[in-house]
Copies of this chain bind each other. A is one copy, B any other.
Amino acid sequence: MENLKIIPFGGLGKIGKNMLAIESNNSILIIDCGVMFPDETMHGVDVVIPDYEYLQKRKDSIEGIIITHGHEDHIGALPYILPELQAPIYGTALSMGLASVKLKNTKSVKKDLINTVEPGDPFDLGPFNITLFNVNHSIPDAAGVIIKTPLGTIVHTGDFKLDHTPVHGKPTDFHRISEVGNSGVLLLLSDSTYADTPGYTPSEEIVGRSLDRLIGEAPSRVIVASFASLISRIQQIGNAAVNHDRKMGIVGRSMVDNVKLATEMGFINLPPGTVLSDNQLKSHPPESTIIMTTGAQGEPTSALARMSINQHPNVTIQPGDTIILSANPIPGNETAVARTIDNLFKLGANVLYSRIEQVHVRGHASQEELKLFLRLAKPKFFIPIHGDHRHLVHHSRLAQSVGMSEKDTFVMENGDVLNINAKLKAELIDKIPLRDNYIDGKQSGKISNKILKDRANLSKQGVFSISIALDIETGDLIGNPEITTKGFIDTAESVSLVETACEIVEDVLDSMGDKSDLKQLERKISEHVSNFLYKQIRMRPVVITTSVEV
């Protein structure tokens, strides 16, 4: 009996954003393999990758991984996961170019796993017949996926919006969606990122016009900060440079890398000589210079953040500089962005940002576009994906507003398993327990939720570390307990607290009969000292007791 399973993986609330699996009997197709960015509670975590244990156990059944586009949250986990799964990956030229760059230091992944496919050209992977189709997004060469399965056709939008006047490539492929909609779609999975936003998302062209005007009005040097992956924005800045007789410098490693790749692949087209070398940039007159750089999210180590505190090795902000932040702050980054803007103003620059000029548009469809897509695809079943729970709820309401019934719409969580059987009955049949896979520096899979909880506790009121020496024979205290604190309080009061804490340590040791269980003894000391500190000054630093046997 044929059946289909849909399983969204990973994502810090963004359902199926970073990875999603489609199973047809015993064959598995994976869509995307990206990272999530940690929230403010995940101290010390660089990125989070999906829990791929379920897939690892079934690696022999994996037919391939489709990459919808080249953003970090869709390709960033490849270096961690591909060596384990060793499955072929498929995507458009730019997506595969960016994936190759990501994987260049991952020796265990062979080059022949990377396959570039053209939108519109169908190919087979086991029981799946796959065709990519063009969609508009904030990176060129983004694609949605049409997957013919034995039970019916699945459409997966990837990240998308509808842009009738895109800067790069073609508009979202209405004709193909319309065609496949007419021949019958079993299941639609569609981007919900902005499903709570009424109306239409403006075209990238609008931003181009704003940027051209602002660059034309700028009295001296212009510095534009955006995302390194926003190739169309870089192209538009280049166009404005040509239009206003300026030359363009590129600053920031990821921006330099991406401009190089996109130019080689033909996604950035500028007259020769438009882009300045680092050396040329140093001596080029400011009034005919544009610098394109990273740091529009206020990331502390980015080029713009370093410029804003006068610590960039090559670029010094000058009064008269015009700085354009061509991005909206991602939730969580608002304060860092505000700090960067303030610091730039303090250096005498004029800063233009989204509250005061239209210098950015979103890369995701708003409600009217989502409704149009639903109407074109006419699916039997619908799974809103790529959003927090509230976005999925709004998207499912949009589906109902265009005539779908609530029972055919599935608001899922990561790990949920939707099963469609041979009679085309769809139901949630299982939930795979998923954990977050934290990546911290070189460490993968070694940071647990307990470790994060300890870090959060340490961050609140510091650490109070007690060392004691015990007689290895009798268990009696030898010498005095010694205490070191970090991040606690730093006044005279802490000295008297430390003294009293030492007395408590001695009392606890005196009161214990059997001292053979060192761990229990240390726990008991920590507990008593912790309670004392709370009683005394209402603070609860992390108390650690370590005993040395002598």
Whether the Cβ atoms of A548 and B468 lie closer than 8 Å is: yes
Whether the Cβ atoms of A479 and B550 lie closer than 8 Å is: yes
Interface residues of A in 241-298 (CB under 8 A from B): none
Whether the Cβ atoms of A43 and B459 lie closer than 8 Å is: yes
Is A398 on the interface with B (CB-CB < 8 A)?
no
Is A451 on the interface with B (CB-CB < 8 A)?
yes
Is A40 on the interface with B (CB-CB < 8 A)?
yes
With A389-B346, A487-B455 already in contact, the answer to whether A465 and B465 are too (CB < 8 A) is yes
Is A482 on the interface with B (CB-CB < 8 A)?
yes
Query: When chains A and B are docked, how far (Å) is the Cα of A292 from the Cα of B315?
Result: 52
With A331-B334, A342-B390, A469-B548 already in contact, the answer to whether A487 and B196 are too (CB < 8 A) is no
- Give A23 Cβ to nearest chain B Cβ, in Å: 26
Binds B, one of A101-109, A176-184, A538-546: A538-546
- Give A399 Cβ to nearest chain B Cβ, in Å: 16
Which residue of chain B lies nearest to A448 when distances are taken between CB atoms in the complex? B490
A residues whose Cβ falls under 8 Å from a Cβ of B: 13, 39-40, 43-44, 196-198, 331-332, 334-335, 338-339, 341-342, 345-346, 351, 355-356, 388-390, 393-394, 440-443, 445-448, 450-452, 454-463, 465-469, 472, 478-484, 486-491, 493, 537-539, 542, 544-550
From B332, B341, B479, B489, contact of A334 by CB (8 A): B332
From B346, B393, B472, B490, contact of A450 by CB (8 A): B490
From B341, B480, B488, B547, contact of A390 by CB (8 A): B341
Q: Which residues of B contact A43 (CB under 8 A)?
A: 459-460, 487
Query: When chains A and B are docked, how far (Å) is the Cα of A489 from the Cα of B441?
Result: 12
Q: Which residues of B contact A478 (CB under 8 A)?
A: 469, 548, 550
With A197-B355, A446-B490, A481-B548 already in contact, the answer to whether A440 and B454 are too (CB < 8 A) is no
With A334-B334, A393-B345, A460-B455 already in contact, the answer to whether A544 and B484 are too (CB < 8 A) is yes
Whether the Cβ atoms of A345 and B390 lie closer than 8 Å is: yes
Whether the Cβ atoms of B489 and A335 lie closer than 8 Å is: no
With A390-B351, A550-B479 already in contact, the answer to whether A538 and B198 are too (CB < 8 A) is no
Q: Which residues of B contact A345 (CB under 8 A)?
A: 389-390, 393
Query: When chains A and B are docked, how far (Å) is the Cα of A332 from the Cα of B548?
Result: 44
From B441, B458, B469, contact of A479 by CB (8 A): B469
Whether the Cβ atoms of B458 and A463 lie closer than 8 Å is: yes
Whether the Cβ atoms of A537 and B441 lie closer than 8 Å is: yes
Whether the Cβ atoms of B548 and A490 lie closer than 8 Å is: no
12 contacts between A and B (CB under 8 A): A332-B334, A341-B390, A345-B390, A351-B390, A441-B539, A445-B491, A451-B488, A451-B489, A455-B459, A458-B486, A465-B465, A467-B546
From B44, B394, B463, B479, contact of A465 by CB (8 A): B463
Whether the Cβ atoms of A335 and B335 lie closer than 8 Å is: no
Known: A469-B478, A469-B548. 20 other contacts (CB 8 A): A40-B335, A197-B355, A198-B356, A342-B390, A345-B390, A346-B389, A440-B489, A441-B537, A443-B537, A446-B489, A455-B461, A456-B459, A457-B486, A458-B462, A465-B544, A467-B468, A467-B547, A467-B548, A479-B549, A484-B545
From B441, B446, B548, contact of A482 by CB (8 A): B548
From B39, B198, B455, contact of A462 by CB (8 A): B455
Whether the Cβ atoms of A342 and B388 lie closer than 8 Å is: yes
From B331, B356, B458, contact of A455 by CB (8 A): B458
Which residue of chain B lies nearest to A483 when distances are taken between CB atoms in the complex? B546
Q: Which residues of B contact A332 (CB under 8 A)?
A: 334-335
Query: When chains A and B are docked, how far (Å) is the Cα of A338 from the Cα of B334?
Result: 14
Q: Which residues of B contact A468 (CB under 8 A)?
A: 467, 548
Whether the Cβ atoms of B44 and A461 lie closer than 8 Å is: yes
Query: When chains A and B are docked, how far (Å) is the Cα of A373 from the Cα of B490?
Result: 47
Q: Which residues of B contact A479 (CB under 8 A)?
A: 469, 472, 548-550
Q: Which residues of B contact A484 (CB under 8 A)?
A: 465, 544-546
Q: Which residues of B contact A489 (CB under 8 A)?
A: 440, 443, 446-447, 451
From B441, B442, B462, B469, contact of A469 by CB (8 A): B469
Which residue of chain B lies nearest to A541 when distances are taken between CB atoms in the complex? B44
Whether the Cβ atoms of B454 and A462 lie closer than 8 Å is: yes
